[in-house]
Amino acid sequence: MQPADELSTHTDPCTPTSSTGVSSEGTGYFTSNNLTELPTPFYPPSLLEEDIKVKSEPSVARQIPSCLGFPELPQDKVSSEINPSDVATPDAWVPRDGRMVRLTGKHPFNAEAKLKDLYTQGFITPSSLFFVRNHGAVPIVDQHLANNWKLKVHGLCSKPVTFTLDDLRRKFRVVTIPVTLVCAGNRRKEQNMVQKSLGFSWGAAGLSTALFTGVYLADVLEYVLPLRGARHVVFEGCDDLPNGPYGTSQLLSWARDKRKGMMLAWAMNGLPLEPDHGFPLRLVVPGQIGGRSVKWLSRIELSEHESQHHLHFRDNKVLPMPVGPDQARAESHWWYDPRYIIRDLNVNSAIASPDHDEILDLSAQGADGTYPVKGYAYAGGGRRVTRVEVSTDDGDSWSLADITYPEDRFRATAYSDSVYGDLDMTESDTCFCWCFWTLEIPIQTIRTTRAIVVRCMDESLALQPRNMYWNATGMMNNWWFRVCVHKLS
């Protein structure tokens, strides 16, 4: 193997600086220094007001680069506070938004927004409300360490290299892409209500969308020149977990395909990644489950073999339905069967309005009026949702909802050159984000129905199933989504 490129000679990124999260030389995360390091402007200005609620949402306004003409960046009071629940934990330095719903009541931090809060934010989720799935403590990385972050790329390649973030910025085309990340456990609560799975309960807000800025993984792989025999690309984070660092892998053929959109990202919604989301560098894998988007990324290896990381095998699997949690715990071979791995997301949708337990006051509504039922939908592997159907008679009949894809406006703004890099996304049918749907239902129907049900289909004609596919990990739950209708009158 040839020696690594001498691009960088800095400290080990995985060595914590201090227990407070701020080194003596470093400035920490949330100082104004960060703003001087913002990437060059990349938001299509016409999209700002429509897609990002700048004025009504202080935590989002904080994320708008000042170079776009917003003179004052309001102090984000919410996300600069340490939550009392974190005080006695290793994350006692990580600012978190009090609106996030903590899913386990213990460390590590795993949280989602309330579905209504998430939905009303619109297409782009503010970082403070972006769902969090951590398997352990957040690695302590201050600004100094981030500036010297080393990403080692090695293994079966002719030109192993260690990159700093500056190296990545300088050597490769910088792109910004909206991507929806979805936890494989999204909607697991419904499975746990049927039979407790191995995982904790997520509602239907285990997904979020951000503008990620970074470089295409495909460009980096071309640079290091993969050798014959390399079939997998293994990614490793630097979190210190009981069974070793978090890691997983991709097929090399997928990772090299720019249309799959895999990125090494350092910014989210115009600011450096938040600690919970992988500061200073993460992998972003559009269209696949969130578990493939490795945070705090420190190592990439080209290999003949898939990742051997503990959680690559022991997580993110849909085991066959007859295998219960006890059997899965006792018999390890289930986890090592390659047939049960999850890569692409499956097709899914949810109703955000009316919400579960919301009580509708229809008294002021005339008999001829309608009630707007609303929600989100997504599909995996870059596929598009082609229809959303809503039923008020438990699936005997269906009505077609209107779908909007805000992602299309990003393409249409002709930002393809500067935003998407040399891949012309305006011509691409690849979908990396969620879409929204609405259906006006007659008030008379709302008055009499007990429940509203939604399902969707994607362009491969995959349809959400009527029945739940219960499985030991409680993952990929995508049966019809139901909301009971509660009325005042």
Residues in contact with ligand MTE by the rule CB under 6 A = 130-135, 181, 183, 237, 239, 246, 276-277, 290-291, 293-296
The answer to whether 316 is a known catalytic residue is yes
CB-nearer residue toward ligand MTE: 284 or 452 = 284
CB-nearer residue toward ligand MTE: 132 or 425 = 132
Marked catalytic residue, from 157, 183, 433, 456: 183
Which amino acid type is present at position 395?
Answer: G
Instruction: Report in angstroms how near the CB of residue 273 gets to ligand MTE at its nearest.
Output: 8
Token pair, residue 231, equals 């079939």
Instruction: Report in angstroms how near the CB of residue 272 gets to ligand MTE at its nearest.
Output: 13
Strand partners, 373: 439
CB-nearer residue toward ligand MTE: 149 or 296 = 296
Marked catalytic residue, from 97, 142, 276, 315: 315
Q: What is the gyration radius of the CA atoms in the chain, in angstroms?
A: 22
Instruction: Report in angstroms how near the CB of residue 188 gets to ligand MTE at its nearest.
Output: 12
Q: Rounded to whole angstroms, how far apart are CA atoms 407 and 433? A: 7
CB atoms within 10 A of CB 395: 13
Instruction: Report in angstroms how near the CB of residue 399 gets to ligand MTE at its nearest.
Output: 33
Instruction: Report in angstroms how near the CB of residue 146 gets to ligand MTE at its nearest.
Output: 15
**Element of type H or E holding 452:** strand 451-458
Strands 481-484 and 451-458: antiparallel
Contacts of 353 (CB under 8 A, 6+ apart): 116, 119, 372, 373, 374, 375
Nearest of 344, 341, 346, 320 to residue 331 by alpha carbon: 320
CB-nearer residue toward ligand MTE: 145 or 446 = 145
Instruction: Report in angstroms how near the CB of residue 436 gets to ligand MTE at its nearest.
Output: 20
CB-nearer residue toward ligand MTE: 187 or 295 = 295
The answer to whether 269 is a known catalytic residue is no
What residue is closest to ligand MTE based on CB?
A: 237
Question: How distant, in Å, are the alpha carbons of 233, 301, 384, 430, 435 from that of 408?
Answer: 30, 34, 11, 10, 10
Q: Rounded to whole angstroms, how far apart are CA atoms 149 and 162? A: 10
The answer to whether 240 is a known catalytic residue is no
Is-contact 126 60, C-beta < 8 A?
Answer: yes
Marked catalytic residue, from 83, 148, 269, 316: 316
CB-nearer residue toward ligand MTE: 157 or 281 = 281
Q: Rounded to whole angstroms, how far apart are CA atoms 380 and 101? A: 26
Question: How distant, in Å, are the alpha carbons of 26, 260, 289, 318 from that of 381?
Answer: 40, 8, 10, 17
Catalytic residues, by residue number, are 183, 315-316
